[in-house]
Amino acid sequence: MIYIGIDVAKDKHDCFITNSDGEVLFKSFTISNNREGFETLFQKVQSISDDLTKVKVGLEATGHYSYNLLGFLLDKGLPTYIINPLHTNLYRKSLSLRKTKTDKVDARTIASMIMSDVNLKSYTNTSYHNEELKSLTRYRFDKVKERAKLKSSISRLVCILFPELEKLVPTLHMASVYALLGDFNRFDSADKILAYAGMSPSTYQSGQLENCHSHMEKRGSRYLRYALYNATKYVCYWDESFGVYLGKKRSEGKHYNVALSHATKKLVRLIFAMEKSKQPYQPTV
């Protein structure tokens, strides 16, 4: 069996390779923390063993500094063990009373630890991807918090410097709707606008089976659909009749997004009627 100890650092890694007989196969050497350095290490391993199942690699848990190397080792099929730095420190002290700690000594200590088989479990691809997912989850959590703080800060500044903007937002969304629709004369019915936005109900029929809970197709312009939804949110807030209509759909047990889609369709039909009649909107409850 061949044992490889690696002391991980930011820019470089120190390695030590020995075998079950305690023979030093490669004295401590340093590789860079990049693909070229990893390939150098792998070439040394291949030069002393054709059977990678008889190789054990150990490295300390040092956060993201080891991620690239760890991924490389797992891709090559090398059994790899992650060791807690505290355990490494205690193991090194048990070997000598002298306070000797260098990267090269740590690499040798790690090789000795995996050789002694101190209840270590090999790292797996699943563990690696779980760590990646955990890292991404934490990153997203931090970004969501930053976004919330930024939105709160902007909202405060808008209220102080430009209070009129809050009532202008629905107008901006409606301008987006008209821009995305283009030439209004292309549509001879409100249903065709809904189809263009991908808001028509889908139809499924096979034999004697027909869908009784149809869903939106979502095959049209997602940008128009997004603009319509956002415009509807503000219209429901500012216009009493639309607010009552949204509340009615919610009282029927519909999910908020489903109720909002109904209000959006109502808004599209209203826009179409106003464009065709050239009459201003007269709110009614």
160 with 153: CB under 8 angstroms? no
Per-residue pLDDT at 207: 46
Q: What's the topology of domain 2-123?
A: Nucleotidyltransferase; domain 5 (3.30.420)
Of residues 254 and 154, more confidently modeled: 254
243 φ/ψ angles, rounded to the nearest 5 degrees:
-65, -40
Q: Which pLDDT score is estimated for 38? A: 93
Q: Which two tokens stand for residue 148?
A: 């919330």
**Over the Cα atoms of the chain, what is R_g?**
32
User: Can you say whether residue 22 is alpha, beta or left, with left for phi > 0 and alpha for psi between -120 and 50 degrees?
Assistant: left
pLDDT at 254 over 90: yes
Amino acid letter at 11? D
pLDDT digits (tens, 9 = 90+) for 181-197: 888 888 999 999 999 99
DSSP at 11: S
Q: Count Cβ atoms within 10 A of the Cβ of residue 277 and give its class: 0-12 exposed, 13-18 middle, 19 or more buried.
A: exposed
217 or 157, higher pLDDT: 157
The DSSP-derived string for 47-69 is HH-S-GGGEEEEEE--GGGGHHH
Output the pLDDT for position 202: 53
How close are the terminal C-alpha atoms of the chain, in Å? 82
Enter the pTM of the model: 0.46
* pLDDT single digits (tens) 127-142: 767 777 777 888 888 8
What tens digit of pLDDT does each residue of 198-233 get? 887 654 444 444 444 455 556 678 888 988 998 899
The pLDDT of residue 150 is 85
Domains in the chain: boundaries: 2-123, 134-161, 164-277
Give the alpha-carbon dihedral of 107, 32, 20, 73, to 10 degrees.
Answer: 120
Question: At residue 125, does pLDDT exceed 80?
Answer: no
Is residue 271 within 8 Å of 229, Cβ to Cβ?
no
Better-predicted residue by pLDDT, 284 or 225: 225
pLDDT attached to residue 205 = 46
For 59-92, write each residue's pLDDT tens digit: 887 777 888 888 898 888 888 888 877 777 777 6
- CA 223 to chain CA centroid, nearest Å: 22
| Number of other residues whose CB lies within 10 A of the CB of residue 5 | 30
* C-alpha dihedral sign at 233, 237, 241, 247: positive
Q: Tell me the mean pLDDT in the region 11-27.
A: 89
Query: Average pLDDT over the chain, rounded to whole?
Result: 81
Helices (H), the chain: 35-48, 67-75, 85-95, 103-116, 125-161, 165-181, 190-196, 222-238, 240-251, 256-277
